[in-house]
Chains A and B, each alone.
Chain A
Amino acid sequence: MDPETISPYTKHIRVAFILVAFILPLQLYMVLTQGNVYPCLHLPGFQPVLDNHTSLYYTDRNLYAITQNQQRIPVKYTTLFNVLPEYFARHTMNHLFVANRASHTIVLDKSTKHWIHERLISVTGTKDIDFLEVETISYQYNKENPSNPEVSIQYTLILPLLDE
């Protein structure tokens, strides 16, 4: 039986398959070259970024609320950003608190600083918070004791939260 006699759309379906077969490699090219892809086309298992696969150093951030009398209160990023689901909180923290390499500062607009200030007051229960300290640390693989990595501070930035 000829396909065309089965369904009037057979030709269209065949074309759709061929189109998809061309679009998918194009999307893969975009992923490989830009590391950023439209979520609509984001298929399972994509790993756009594969850096540091040979490195045994891993960076992380510690956050502290600094009070007027220099008290340093540790704040978990999941607590600060608990308006977001857990995995989103880490990405948002890394996006917000990435330091400008030239000036070693974190640039945030007034309303975001205000939002962070309010959140810190709420989660610490302390009203006189003036600064947020962002400490970037690294874990170094410990060959002798893999479950106990060596931790070192890479750099620390103090972010004023009140209006100048």
Chain B
Amino acid sequence: MSNIQPTYSHWLDRWIFTSFPLSAEALGLYRILYASYLLVWGIPNFEWITNSPDAFFNPPAYSIAAFFSGFPPYWFLQGLSLLVVVCCMALLFGWYTRWVSITLFIAIVVGKSFMFSYGLIGQDLIVWLVPLFMAFGNWGNKFSIDEHKNNNHSANINTWPVTMMALLLGFGMFSAGLPKLLGGWLDTSTHATRGHFFTQYYVIGDLKLLSTWMINITSPIVWEVMDWGAVFFELLFLAAIVKPRWFRLWLLLAIGFHTTTFLIFNISFHFQYIVYLLFIDWGKINPALYRRLEGFTNSLFSIKWFVLAVIIYLPLYMLAQQFTQQPGTLAPSPFIMATDLLGLDYKIVMGISALLAAYVVVLWQLTSKPSIK
């Protein structure tokens, strides 16, 4: 692990290249966590799209799908879904990591372009920008097949992709806050959050968690505080990217923000947490953990085990697809199937477990010794 930190003369270079110092080990560990998150919690699936008549086809003006007149054939969607699965597994094992990361991003963007041709646009792109940019951070240099096979030409790791992700996340939040500001959320005579809550409650019919309690909260102060809080929290996210410490504080606020959204609106942004994990202080990880991980990955992360894992996982994945009653945007992952077996709402369980995991990470970060900067 190299501790040599180059000094940059220009503030822009200092911000780009030194904001989030990371080691090759930390990047390798994050890659494993990211791929495991997808494989255990759910990989996007596009096969269900094929069951729709072309009258449902309503792509946005600026979309890959806008170049087509209808939905693609089944073989294409199945191929794309399987490609995503294989890419996630290759990412876990770190096999041709850079190319696999870029392929995963492209496959997801193509699939989601058709998925978002029903009039609904999802908000998870930030999750898929991670492999695109981390491919250039060389996150496959450690704990991977590449490490031993020398599949990566560049030996150095780069941390500028983490700063790029901070910029994109900060801007994403800012662009959520600006329309709210322009839309009159700060007008004290109206309660925008309450308006959205009513739609969620009456029209969508999400009556879980705290929503049935919140419906009777009529205090204008409570609802107005939420309006103002949401606007300023989202707008100032962009300013927070200037300093890593501010940015981490804002991520902490974001977890609180998502908790409120989850409890009141039943909307879980659990997929965001895997992105937030990129920005924690990785220097606080105990080196002993890396040594153990190295021993584990050295014995398990080989081409032989990778091929065996694909041979086992793919048929199970395809079999699970056959037994799925209601299609979902995620493939039936081990997590989804386990919650189904227990008769639980997987979205609620997913939201709660992601929140708990996020709070455990926050607690660990706050209580452990700061790393040397």
Nearest B residue to A113 via CB reads B55
Q: Does B62 contact A (CB under 8 A)?
A: yes
Find the residue from B54, B172, B216 having the highest chain A CB count within 10 A: B172
Q: How far is the CA of A92 from the CA of B122 in the complex (A)?
A: 14
Q: Does A147 contact B (CB under 8 A)?
A: yes
- Residues of chain A contacted by B124 (CB below 8 angstroms): 44
Q: How far is the CA of A125 from the CA of B67 in the complex (A)?
A: 39
Within 8 A of B (CB), among A2-42: 2-3, 6-7, 10, 13-14, 16-17, 20-21, 24, 27-28, 30-32, 34, 36-42
- Residues of chain A contacted by B177 (CB below 8 angstroms): 45
Interface size on A, as a range, is: 35 or more
Q: How far is the CA of A44 from the CA of B126 in the complex (A)?
A: 7
Asked whether, in the complex, the Cβ of A53 is within 8 Å of the Cβ of B184, the reply is: yes
Q: Does B37 contact A (CB under 8 A)?
A: no
Q: How far is the CA of A59 from the CA of B173 in the complex (A)?
A: 29
Interface size on B, as a range, is: 35 or more
Asked whether, in the complex, the Cβ of A32 is within 8 Å of the Cβ of B182, the reply is: yes
* B interface secondary structure, majority: helix
Q: Does B199 contact A (CB under 8 A)?
A: yes
Asked whether, in the complex, the Cβ of B175 is within 8 Å of the Cβ of A46, the reply is: yes
Asked whether, in the complex, the Cβ of A14 is within 8 Å of the Cβ of B13, the reply is: yes
- Residues of chain B contacted by A6 (CB below 8 angstroms): 6, 17
Within 8 A of A (CB), among B297-312: none
Q: Does B287 contact A (CB under 8 A)?
A: no
Q: Does B176 contact A (CB under 8 A)?
A: yes
Q: How far is the CA of A10 from the CA of B229 in the complex (A)?
A: 38
Asked whether, in the complex, the Cβ of A56 is within 8 Å of the Cβ of B109, the reply is: no
Asked whether, in the complex, the Cβ of A37 is within 8 Å of the Cβ of B179, the reply is: no
- Which among A65-73, A82-90, A127-135, A152-160 touches the partner chain? A82-90
Find the residue from A40, A45, A112 having the highest chain B CB count within 10 A: A45
Find the residue from A32, A39, A53, A92 having the highest chain B CB count within 10 A: A39
Per-residue 0/1 for B202-224: is the Cβ within 8 Å of any A Cβ (1 yes, 0 no)? 11100000001001101000000
Given known contacts A84-B52, A92-B119, A111-B55, is B10 in contact with A39 (CB within 8 Å)? no
Find the residue from B12, B175, B179 having the highest chain A CB count within 10 A: B175
Asked whether, in the complex, the Cβ of A146 is within 8 Å of the Cβ of B218, the reply is: yes
B153 CB to nearest chain A CB (Å)? 13
Q: What are 19 pairs between A and B in contact, CB < 8 Å?
A: A3-B17, A13-B16, A20-B168, A28-B175, A32-B182, A42-B116, A44-B126, A44-B176, A53-B183, A53-B192, A53-B196, A58-B198, A83-B52, A84-B51, A84-B118, A88-B120, A90-B204, A92-B118, A147-B212
In the A-B complex, list the 10 residue pairs whose CB atoms are closest, starting with the nearest: A45-B176, A38-B62, A43-B172, A50-B183, A91-B119, A112-B55, A83-B51, A91-B120, A54-B190, A53-B192
List 11 extra interface pairs beyond A47-B180, A60-B202, CB under 8 A.
A14-B16, A34-B61, A39-B125, A45-B175, A46-B176, A50-B183, A53-B183, A86-B326, A91-B118, A92-B56, A115-B55
